[in-house]
Structure 1
Amino acid sequence: MTTVVLMAKECLPGRVKTRLHPPFSLVDAARIAEASLSDTITTLSALPVERRVLCLDGEDAPHLPPGWEVLPQAAGGLDERIGAALDACRGPALVVGMDTPQLSADDVADIGGWPDDVDAWFGPAEDGGFWALALREPRGDLVRGVPMSRPDTGARQRERLEAAGLRVGTLPRLTDIDDAESLRAVTGLLRDGRLTALLRELA
């Protein structure tokens, strides 16, 4: 059974996308986060996987299409939370975040079928982090202890995978929406969806 796990945070003003303020208000920054999450859910809902999990940091989950389940994020830092989500999977797993609404099925197409010469797939982000991590055999210890939210997070995570003897494939490099500059970089890559409509409204 292949599982896709979406790590998400409840989209409350002042709690998400605060680096978009300014130029956006905290309320509009939260709306951008909510639209980004919604578009990501739409993309992941179309993937040919058997299980879809929204791993939520918060109380109220967004509207989800049929077939999704909601699990609370574990306590601790992001490495601990991703690690716990991986430990809850059985069979191949893909973990992604909510900050890359430009994500398309093509970006993760290489994962399909799990080629014999790949044990893990790694999706690097422009800011030095990573937007996706897929493991043929999910193990939380492969993430725990990796320092998060740093320019070398992605490099350190890939080193951890390779040090464990895993053969690592590389997914396309994507930009996380963190601030106004990265939002502008992503805007031209978006498909018509909730975030595109919202940005038109805010403009």
Structure 2
Amino acid sequence: MKSGRTEPMTPPKRLLIILARNPLKGRVKTRLARDIGDEQALKAYRILLKHSIRTAVQSCVDTALFHSEPSPPPAEFIPQGSKTYCQEGKDLGERINNAFITGFTQGYQHIVLIGSDCLDIRPSHIKRAFALLDTHDAVLGPSLDGGFYLIGLKTPVPELFLHRTWSHEKVLDETIARLEAINLHFALIDKLTDIDTADTLQASRLWAPISIIIPTYNEQETIEATLQHLTKLTTDHVGTELLIADASTDNTATIASRFPNVTIIRSAKGRARQMNCGASHARGKLLYFLHADTLPPPDFMQHIRHAVTNGARAGCFQMRFDAREPLLEIYGWFTRFPLPVCRGGDQSLFITRELFDTIGGYNEDMLLMEDYDIVSRIEQVTPVHVLAAAVTTSARKFLRNGTLELQLHFAALHLKRALGATQEDLADYYRIHIKT
């Protein structure tokens, strides 16, 4: 006698396909490359592909990567545990269709396919698409450019992909028309942005056209850690450049040359000269001056971009020291206030290229206190915004000279300058009283 209970239905076997190009210079993001160059276009694509891979892994579903070249891409561009296949087909439609057929042939019943152009896609979009396939024949994720970033099916539908043109603003509309023509029930999920053009890139969080300029003089003990920190923080951004304006006689330049993302510029000695030299080679519309022994906060570019988007033309961060000393904590605490006496080069400085050129850059006649000078000239034009986050700077000079003693020497320098001391007099005082 049979039981009256209904056996639970076996969930459909699900597969997520990533259709991707191998990350090779000159072969990816060609439309974008026309505006930003092959190197930056490749960087953008690598970031986007890694995002698609992370999304796939976090979706907790079987994954297959279909790559464009005969050999798979490096392991970092393959989801862990994923199968890999070479794409087959003369055009995009044939490659998509053949990828679906491969998945269905292997026994998968619900298949979702994504590309590697969308930075906004999340595991929730993948899970939503699979859930909708339980009640629909197809699912589409529309993109703002008129295409789609995701498509899900539970049976092969070659009519959707073959004998048609791609890469135009009516791709989604034509796909929907084909679904309706063959009476397939479909659903749409969130509309997101594909990054294919300079406009979509510049509107995304990937875009950070910031030139980071670091003046160095015999910083072989600090420069490696600083560049490692900056490399990590700028990896997921496009348009950022790192420039070292170097006047060193030690191994600073040799150490910096180990970082392929760093441009080293030989400069005459003098921090003002070096920062102007770096600025003259910079391509960014936003300049960020940073000392070699100072580390910006993890999200410093987001802070700067947010400030500039909201109208700031110049600004700095608050500051803390890398040593736990009561007086140093007090000194750092005061950097939150927008007072000239609380400003200093260790806080770093961001400034738009337009404003930097308008005020004439750093004053190269300044042997000392060039940071106070440029801040005072900026504030004659526009406020210097103090951002909420803090940079971390080395306390080495305070530890060598005494935390109170060095601050008193700095106060003496400010007083001497206010009383009309020459730059040579200030430099002599600094050389005699302060250990570097």
TM over 0.5, shorter chain:
yes
Question: Do residues 197 (structure 1) and 211 (structure 2) align?
Answer: no
1:102 aligns with 2:114: no
SS across alignment from 1:177:
coil
> What is the RMSD of the two structures over their aligned residues, measured on CA atoms?
2.4
Quick one: which amino acid aligns to residue 83 of structure 2? E
Change (3 A) 1:169 1:34: same
Number of the residue aligned with 1:30: 42
Deviation at residue 119 of structure 1 after TM alignment: 1.2
Shift of the 156–196 alpha-carbon distance from structure 1 to 2, 3 Å rule, reads farther
Match of 1:54 among 62, 65, 76: 65
Q: CA deviation at 1:16?
A: 0.8
**Equivalent residue for 2:57?**
45
Q: Which residue of 1 aligns with 2:423?
A: none
Quote how far apart the aligned CAs of 1:116 are: 4.9
The Cα offsets for residues 69-92 of structure 1, whole Å up to 9 and x where unpaired, read as: 110000211001101011111211
**Structure 1 position 200, deviation (Å):** 7.4
What is the distance in 1 between the residues matched to 2:237 and 2:133? Answer: 39
Shift in CA distance, 178/9, structure 1 to aligned 2, threshold 3 Å:
same
Deviation at 1:25, TM superposition (A): 2.5
Instruction: Report percent identity of matched pairs.
Output: 27
Cα distance between partner residues in 2 of 1:55 and 1:26: 23
Distance in 2 between the 1:102 and 1:118 partners? Answer: 24
Instruction: Give the structure with the higher percent helix.
Output: 2
Any idea what the Cα deviations from partners look like across 1:38-93, whole Å, max 9, x if unmatched? 111011111132x2111110134132242111100002110011010111112110
Judging changes above 3 Å, is the alpha-carbon distance between structure 1 residues 16 and 115 closer, same or farther for their aligned structure 2 residues?
A: closer
Q: Distance in 2 between matches of 1:194 and 1:100?
A: 21
Residue identity matched to 1:66? Q
Q: Tell me if structure 1 keeps the 8 A contact 2:28–2:45.
A: yes
Tell me if structure 2 keeps the 8 A contact 1:89–1:138.
no
2:20 is paired with a residue of what secondary structure? Answer: strand
SS at 1:113 equivalent: helix
After superposition, the C-alpha distances for 1:152-180 in whole angstroms (9 at most, x for unaligned) are 11111111112121111001111111112
Aligned length: 199
Given that residues 36 and 195 in structure 1 are in contact (C-alpha distance below 8 angstroms), is that contact kept between their aligned partners in structure 2? no
Q: Which has the larger radius of gyration?
A: 2
Matching residue within 10, 22, 26 for 1:14: 26
Tell me which amino acid in the other structure corresponds to 1:182.
T
State how far apart, in whole Å, the 2-side matches of 1:194 and 1:68 are. Answer: 28
The separation in 2 between residues aligned to 1:65 and 1:131, in whole angstroms, is 19
- Larger deviation, residues 142-151 vs 29-38: 142-151
Counterpart of 2:140? 122
Task: Measure the CA separation in 2 of the matches of 1:60 and 1:194.
Answer: 28
Superposition pairs for residues 158-169 of structure 1, below 5 Å?
Answer: 158-169=176-187
**Are the equivalent residues in 2 in contact too, given 1:146–1:157 (CA < 8 A)?**
no
1:32, 1:195 within 8 Å by CA — same for their partners in 2?
no
- Which contiguous aligned blocks of 4+ residues in structure 1 show a shift greater than 6 angstroms? 193-196
Q: CA deviation at 1:35?
A: 1.4
Contact 1:3–1:94 at 8 Å: present in 2 too?
Answer: yes
